[in-house]
Amino acid sequence: MKILVTGAGGMLGQALVPCLESRGHVVTGLTKEDLDVTDFAKVMEAFSGLAPELVIHSAAYTKVDQAESEPDLAYLVNGYGTENVAVACSHLQIPMVYISTDYVFDGKRNSPYTTWDQTAPISIYGKSKLAGETAVQRHLNQFYILRTSWLYGPNGRNFVDTILDLSTKQKTLRVVADQWGTPTCTLSLSETIADLIVTERFGVYHATDGGVTNWCEFARQIVSGRDVPVEAIETKDMPRPATRPKYSVLDKTTLIQAIGREVLPWQEALSTYLDLLKEKQPV
Ligand SMILES: NC(=O)c1ccc[n+]([C@@H]2O[C@H](COP(=O)([O-])OP(=O)(O)OC[C@H]3O[C@@H](n4cnc5c(N)ncnc54)[C@H](OP(=O)(O)O)[C@@H]3O)[C@@H](O)[C@H]2O)c1
């Protein structure tokens, strides 16, 4: 397929483009510098010129805490920007993949959210991403909305790299243990996306790695083997501008049915990523 990826300079975009290419697709990755999705005329021009058969919209405003103080920008990129992409896809009569988030849920459920559960975002970021979902569904019949969570991977600011870095600088780490979810590696998510887009089973999907954990246990797994204790704290001990869902595990039954395989347990995906980091370290 001829595929256009927006936000190709981002963490997911940088994993996704080579993954799709390895499957034989012809991929054009556009970074923010190449294409600002908030400029509708530019979006139309780029899409018409490149004539893709599918667009994967990975560009987003992703600063969860900062969004609380600049909601207009979060909505501009995640709401209107996504609407621009959806309208351009509608003009070209091509399907679109929209990468969404577990933060569209309020986290009060305490059992995995299904794709038909009611959304109720509790942060500006979550609300703006939901605005993007609504725009996609308003303009297109053929779309994949993929909600993912707790992303980490090569080439991006992420929790795994931060914890590894802090473990070399601090004697003890303090990490919240009362927010539950599923870490997801951009490498395994890219494989999932590549599997899903050839199914033509359009719809809303939950696409994370497998299993459940909290940030503290995740951090302990990241530094396991290192002599750095990770102290469990509560969210109230570390106030942040944006409220996070307490529980945002996503039920992946629909995805597993569509791609015909299980997803990778988060521990396995993490172990692969940590091995990759070790390989990259200078000896
Ligand atoms: N990271 C997570 O934990 C997480 C969890 C769930 C869902 N998601 C979703 O997954 C997708 C990929 O996230 P990610 O972690 O790869 O985020 P990321 O690294 O921040 O990538 C997003 C990219 O979009 C670019 N961008 C921002 N505004 C833009 C605009 N107006 N036009 C075009 N590009 C623009 C960013 O550029 P600048 O950096 O230069 O602004 C960045 O390169 C996003 O849709 C995000 O909402 C992420």
Residue carrying structure tokens 């305490």: 110
pLDDT of residue 282: 64
**Cα diameter, the chain:** 56
Per-residue pLDDT reduced to its tens digit, 5-25:
999 999 999 999 999 999 999
Calculate how far, in angstroms, residue 80's C-alpha sits from the geometric centre of ligand 1.
15
Calculate how far, in angstroms, residue 231's C-alpha sits from the geometric centre of ligand 1.
30
- How far is the C-alpha of 13 from the C-alpha of 19, rounded, in Å? 10
At 154, the amino acid letter reads: P
Calculate how far, in angstroms, residue 124's C-alpha sits from the geometric centre of ligand 1.
15
Task: Establish if 173 belongs to a structural domain.
Answer: no
pLDDT of residue 144: 98
- Asked if residue 38 has its Cβ within 6 Å of ligand 1, the reply is yes
- What is the mean predicted confidence (pLDDT) over 151-172? 96
Q: Where does residue 164 rank: exposed (0-12), middle (13-18), buried (19+ CB within 10 A)?
A: middle
Q: Where does residue 114 rank: exposed (0-12), middle (13-18), buried (19+ CB within 10 A)?
A: middle
Domain that holds residue 53: 2-157+182-210+249-265
Q: Which residues of 1-35 are buried (b: 16+ CB within 10 A; e: fewer)?
A: eebbbbbbbbbbbbbbbebbeebebebbbbbbeeb
- What is the mean predicted confidence (pLDDT) over 50-77? 98
- Asked if residue 132 has its Cβ within 6 Å of ligand 1, the reply is no
- What is the mean predicted confidence (pLDDT) over 106-110? 94
Per-residue pLDDT reduced to its tens digit, 199-236:
999 999 999 999 999 999 999 999 998 989 999 999 99
- Asked if residue 181 has its Cβ within 6 Å of ligand 1, the reply is no
pLDDT of residue 280: 85
Q: Whose CA is closest to 184, among 16, 1, 9?
A: 16
pLDDT of residue 239: 92
Of 35, 62, 123, 144, the residue with max ligand 1 atoms within 8 A of its CB, to mutate for a pocket test, comes to 62
- How far is the C-alpha of 256 from the C-alpha of 142, rounded, in Å? 19
Task: Establish if 218 belongs to a structural domain.
Answer: no
Where are any strands of DSSP class E within 188-269?
A: 203-206, 213-214, 230-233
Task: Establish if 124 belongs to a structural domain.
Answer: yes
Task: Establish if 6 belongs to a structural domain.
Answer: yes
* Lookup: tokens for 156: 């991006």
At 19, the amino acid letter reads: C
Is 80 exceeded by the pLDDT of residue 85? yes
pLDDT of residue 237: 95
Beta-strand pair 2-6/26-30: parallel
How many separate domains does the chain show? Answer: 1
- How far is the C-alpha of 169 from the C-alpha of 75, rounded, in Å? 36
Task: Establish if 164 belongs to a structural domain.
Answer: no
Instruction: Please name the helix (run of DSSP H) or strand (run of DSSP E) that holds residue 276, with its range, or none.
Output: helix 266-280
Is 80 exceeded by the pLDDT of residue 165? yes
Task: Establish if 129 belongs to a structural domain.
Answer: yes
- Asked if residue 97 has its Cβ within 6 Å of ligand 1, the reply is no
pLDDT-based confidence at 258, cuts 50/70/90? Answer: very high
Task: Establish if 234 belongs to a structural domain.
Answer: no
Is 60 exceeded by the pLDDT of residue 283? no
- How far is the C-alpha of 228 from the C-alpha of 170, rounded, in Å? 8
Task: Establish if 58 belongs to a structural domain.
Answer: yes
Please report, for the domain that includes residue 194, its CATH number: 3.40.50.720
Contacts of 33 (CB under 8 A, 6+ apart): 9
